[in-house]
Amino acid sequence: MGDYILSLDQGTTSSRAILFDRAQNIIGVAQKEFTQYYPQEGWVEHDAMEIWSSQYGVMMEVIAQSGIRPADIAAIGITNQRETTILWDRATGRPIYNAVVWQCRRTAELVDRLRANGLEGHIRQTTGLIPDAYFSATKISWILDHVDGAREKARRGEVLFGTVDTWLLWKLTGGAVHATDPTNASRTMLYDIHKLDWDDTLLQALDIPRAMLPQVRSSSEIYGYTDIQGARVPIAGIAGDQQAALFGQTCFTPGDAKNTYGTGCFLLMNTGDTPCVSRNGLLTTIAIGLDGRVEYALEGSVFVGGAVIQWLRDELRFFPESRDAEYFARKASDNGGVYLVPAFTGLGAPYWDMYARGILVGLTRGTKREHITRAAQESIAYQVADLVHAMEADTGLPLRQLRADGGASRDGFLMQFQADVLDRQVLRPAIRETTALGAAYLAGLATGFWSDREELRRLWQCSACFTPAMPAPQREHLLGQWHRAVARCRGWAQP
């Protein structure tokens, strides 16, 4: 067996490869951003071949950079942006259309049609999801509708569907394996999370041929092999990015929760063998498929988290580097009464408003760049607080602490403000690359690189603990003003 696990972490804005040793030390990291396409308002696309080439490129770069031999890699784990939809030609291996990204809202009217046809209850009961353009189902149907001959080819199995994990697995194995895992399948709005099979009612409603869908396998097993410079390396772990982060944070016990501060924010709580039905706009999803069974999670999704800082950097040119946001936020003693709701592509949980749009309120002649930057930082924490409060109401379990990861968790101002508005401790792990680490865990368990979950739990370490210090009246005022701002942005783009 090799001495390293290689994680391929395919995200919304970049592809990364991270190499871990047996003690979870990071031996090497390579990352490459790729192009974001916005063909129309509310539309978001990627070039699936660029996703593949960037991911393959960083995989080879991290191997060369670290100086190891490909034969030293015990296994590869894949974690990925979820819901993003790719359709490709089985014979040529070429996409028939750009990848339609999870953020894309082009299918909102198709979702409205599903509701009008009385399918909302079936979707919630069967898939654990709320009907929304966020998920893969309507994206698949849209591509089949808009590419000539695609649906007929799909019926013959000549056009294949995959989320990004499936696409990478297909490419890495030279087209030998067309598969996904339960965590990704559960995000398509086509998968029965109770029967663990694709749902024929939804396939029929959207005219999606079953022949184009991948096989659903465990999150931790050897799916196939890839050739790296003559070495035959097993691909042995797959999980959608947020479930991978939950696993990487060793949230193995019901009630354990983590929030990933990435492009979006994703709060997941492990609910064990029992799916928890939300009454507050959260999603019931599969946490992991392991050891012949699945475990469930309750999830809240924020569409725009760290992406609001990228917006300040790239579109408004407030600062040259995302990390500068913390500096400017700290220069303001408060937000100056400014609130930014970054509903650029609608609002996720607990609101689920596809027609909400971003709003900046409370501006005065004295408003400075620092106030807007601070308002953007605060907006991330407010959105997460909304998720936590909804989750506590659903489960009846008060959250003792929140484990934080993702790129924006490096921001000390944001983490302290999050602890303050939650009135809960926020723990930041020593290894913040928990998404990649979760994929590594799954690949390592499948190949015997690590023995069991208890070994993994013992290896987890906390690097920083943020303790709430905000007076209750101040916290209540800030949250109240935030909710006033949210109310003003809702339904803005309603036809």
List the binding residues: 12-14, 16, 82-83, 134, 241-242, 263, 306, 310, 407
Task: Name residue 267's beta-bridge partners.
Answer: 259, 300
Q: Say how many C-beta atoms besides its own lie within 10 A of residue 408's C-beta.
A: 26
Q: How far apart are CA 357 and CA 105, in angstroms?
A: 12
Binding site feature residues for sn-glycerol 3-phosphate: 12, 82-83, 134, 241
Question: Which residue, among 146, 112, 49, has the nearest Cα to 352 in the 3D structure?
Answer: 112
For residue 253 the two structure tokens come to: 């016990």
What residue ranges in 177-249 does DSSP mark as E strands?
Answer: 179-180, 191-192, 197-198, 215-216, 220-228, 231-240
Per-residue burial over 455-484, b = 16 or more CB atoms within 10 Å of its CB, e = otherwise: ebeebbeeeeebebebeeeebeebeebbee
Alpha carbon 269 to its chain centroid, in Å, reads 14
CA-based torsion, 264, 269, 275, 276: positive or negative = negative
Q: How far apart are CA 402 and CA 386, in angstroms?
A: 14
DSSP string, 403-457: EEESGGGG-HHHHHHHHHHHTSEEEEES---HHHHHHHHHHHHHHTSS--HHHHH
Q: Are 50 and 98 spatial neighbours (Cβ–Cβ below 8 Å)?
A: no
Binding site feature residues for glycerol: 82-83, 134, 241-242
CA-based torsion, 446, 452, 457, 458: positive or negative = negative
Binding site feature residues for ADP: 12, 16, 263, 306, 407
* Secondary structure of 429-441 as H, E, C letters: ECCCCHHHHHHHH
Q: How far apart are CA 116 and CA 389, in angstroms?
A: 30
Q: Which helix (H) or strand (E) holds 88?
A: strand 86-89
Binding site feature residues for ATP: 12-14, 263, 306, 310, 407
User: Is the peptide bond between 209 and the residue preceding it cis, with omega within 30 degrees of 0?
Assistant: no
For residue 350, with 0-12 CB atoms within 10 Å meaning exposed, 13-18 middle and 19 or more buried, which class applies? buried
First vs last C-alpha separation in the chain = 58
Q: Which residue bears the tokens 């959207």? A: 206
Task: Name residue 88's beta-bridge partners.
Answer: 95, 160
